[in-house]
Amino acid sequence: MYEPEHYYLDSPYLCVGTMARSMEKMAQKACKPLGVSPGMAYLLLFVLDYPFRDHRELSENMMMSHAMITRMVQTLKEKGLVQPEQYDKHKIVCATAAGQGLAMRLADWHEIISRKYLLAFGGEQGPGFMQAMRRAAKELLSDVDPRPARLASKREKGAGETLSWI
């Protein structure tokens, strides 16, 4: 195997991209018999663990765009696995009986795929590495999409102004 002679060949961009493509292919292959994509599988697992979540909460927790969540919910609805419902001003997502029936197979899929991922990341050190990756993804996402940072900045300003009154 070729060992890189130039430091830029070990760049995070190239390494993370290769890792992401490999993980995506492995997840798609494992999900195919279940009839859902990996993203839909995780969305359904999240909805099963935390029922009555709206699209905004799903989008934030899964670090996906609102549009992507909407498309996946629509596909899962067409497959009869979730049912979007209106609750006040929020459109929440609930698993159907068929979605709940798929839960055990999805949980098994998640365990198998997670074990493979964690072994690739160093076994015992895997969970810590995954948490570090999630933090890094959120930080990098704030550079690409500054809206969450801008909102946090407004909240901090508001808190500072409020505290100055005391």
**Owner of token pair 């993980």:** 23
Between CA 112 and CA 108 the distance in angstroms is 6
Residue 142 pLDDT grade (very low, low, confident, very high; cuts 50, 70, 90): confident
The pLDDT of residue 109 is above 90: no
Read off φ and ψ for residue 90, nearest 5 degrees. Answer: -105, 140
Taking the C-alpha atoms of residue 66 and residue 60, their distance in angstroms, rounded to an integer, is 8
Cα–Cα distance measured from residue 99 to residue 92, given in angstroms and rounded to the nearest whole number: 15
pLDDT given at position 19: 83
Say how far apart CA 82 and CA 73 lie, in whole Å.
7
Give the pLDDT score at 153.
44
| Mean predicted confidence (pLDDT) in 140-144 | 75
pTM beyond 0.85: no
Q: What is the pLDDT of residues 79-88, one digit of tens each?
A: 999 998 888 8
Domain ranges of the chain: 7-120, 125-166
Q: How far apart are alpha carbons 122 and 117 in whole angstroms? A: 9
Q: Does domain 7-120 have CATH number 1.10.10.10?
A: yes
